[in-house]
Structure 1
Amino acid sequence: MTPDDIRKRARALGFDACGFASAADAWPAGARLAQFVEAGRHGDMAWMEETLERRAHPTAMWPEAKSAVVVGMTYGPATDPLEGLSRRSNGLISAYARGDDYHGLIKGRLKNLGGWIKAKFGGEVKVFVDTAPLMEKPLAERAGLGWQGKHTNLVSRELGSWLFLGSVLTSINLPLEAPGEDACGTCRACLDICPTSAFPAPYQLDARRCISYLTIEHEGPVDAALRPALGNRIYGCDDCLAVCPWNKFAVRAREMGLRARPELDEPALAELAGLDDEGFRRLFRKSAVTRIGRDRLVRNVLYAAGNSGDPSLVPVVEARLADANPVVRGAAVWALKRLAPARAAVLRATVAETDPAVVAEWDQAL
């Protein structure tokens, strides 16, 4: 039995890449993460600080771990996500979330792979997807799957940037791969395209300015200065991935469940703005979008509406001025002011006569 047998098994389970790394060697990624958190660049993601010690090294998760089998599964989109930025009356959902939630799909297959490794090689195994506090990107780089590019995401020479990662830690020693070598060269396309300048320097990210963070992790109102840069992105952002030249080698997702559903491929903002909780759950069933909930999604939709320049969206924006959620109401005020400033002024004057508290909320939203 050889590591090539593990690769064959991984391929049979639908994984597009597989490599091996030490789980016990020195781990400089832990120090980099500590610096990231100390600088406050993790923003509202308190769980990163709370689990920092467990993320410091793979063996902090499991002291018996000696080796890691790291796998990748491509979710390459059928079209260039950047093309959708021009269709401003439609919402852009990150390519990874337009199909089924990958966590369950990958974890089930990782368990299958882990059980097979245990049966064939012995030892104990534990499987991890990115919901666990294991730093998968530096582990994947160590396993030879690619390198962390200037945008901090993994880049593969063979598969580009569209990769889901998973890991099987094992208590046995496996032959190790040569780590991935950085091939970014002088290219800085991913840094230059970022709409919010979220990269303070190459290989560094300030999550507080990242559109993926702002639309997914951040719960409250988005900084008004950053809202125009969101464009029509309503869940995540693919810009720094999509522009990477190495994506000329990317392939479309082989796994049908990871391909975009028609209803999640640039849905109309007018339809999304009117979603209630039930409608939200129905539309995004089995999708990663469900994790942010209806209110945060509609907040993002209203920011996108305000950026659209489409006056036909005024009625659906106005309807959200009476939404039960204050953050949604604030986003509606901002969007209405952008789309129809005269109408917004009239409504403000009317409300001022009856409810000063509402006017104060409106002014705060701007």
Structure 2
Amino acid sequence: MGDSATLEQSAGNIDEQVSGVVEQAKELQDAASSHISRTSVEEQALRKSALSLDSNIHRLRSLIDSLHRNKILDPKLADKLDEDLQRARCILVDGDASSFLPGNAQGGFLRMFLGPINVHATRKDVQLKVKEEYNSYRDRTALLFLLFPSTLLILRSWIWDGCLPTFPVQLYQAWLLFLYTGLALRENILRVNGSDIRPWWIYHHYCAMIMALVSLTWEIKGQPNCAQKQRGVQLFLQWAMMQGVAMLLQNRYQRQRLYTRIALGKAKRMDVVWGETAGVDGQLWLLCPILFILQGFEAYVGLLLLKTAFVGVVSEWQVVFCGVLLVLMAVGNFANTVQTLMVKSRFKAKMKRSKSKQELN
């Protein structure tokens, strides 16, 4: 009886309850719209201030460079002012105000995979989370880059009698396709969010993706003359092991240097380590020979693949295609490494001149 009375009472005022909920929804919608409108106006004002400040920093840096070139401004003062402006820009792009700066344009690669989705993060903590995930991805893949080919080569000698089966090699190439696609996606997203990744390294991963895709259709020849037919595959696996060692060295040593540069206000928190760009002298003496040897070996593997195709040992078009891509990637890597070292050398020479002038004064 009690339950029936309660239900009858609820049925009597159900219309009033529903009407109250509808009114609450309307009031909440009006309050939310008002809040968004006020926030939009405030955000627009902050966006204009951020753009104005960024433009002013660029204008002042250009003015300082012009005054320095015309010997109107003292070099010591010019260096100090330039460092101050660099520090101000790091504060701007590394703080919460960076969300009001326009991001880099999204390229066709992101649109092809993700569609017309804006991947520019408006919050700095989200941007840094993307960068940390990218660093973790590189750490994991560096180990796999070293372990996967070394395992194949060990099994080739111990179990497979010096002749690699088709499936494990194709599995490795499929993993390479997944790896380079993941790297390219992450790097494009980082560039949209203000990172300094050089375009060449992204293009390099595009080439590596294409090469991995093409190599999946490459028939791995067995006996007879397996060693001769698979010479290019063997060398490629050895090069991949060297690449894994280089990636481990870069990730371990150079990231520490990048953190130091960020603390000094000479780099942004969204910057990433690539090549020798963040190394110090002792690290460069170790890394540069490894990088140049790696690039030379990459070109050698590409030329060897072309040779095997032209002399008729393995004449598939995939061999020629992969050989050309390896040579092009080696040349591009070498050119970018040399360019980076030249920029670094000019910067160090500038710092030495500034330091010697300070000592003389």
TM-score under structure 1 normalisation?
A: 0.24
Bigger share in strand = 1
| Bigger CA radius of gyration | 2
Structure of greater relative contact order (alpha carbons < 8 Å, 6+ residues apart): 1
Normalised by the size of structure 2, how large is the TM-score? 0.24
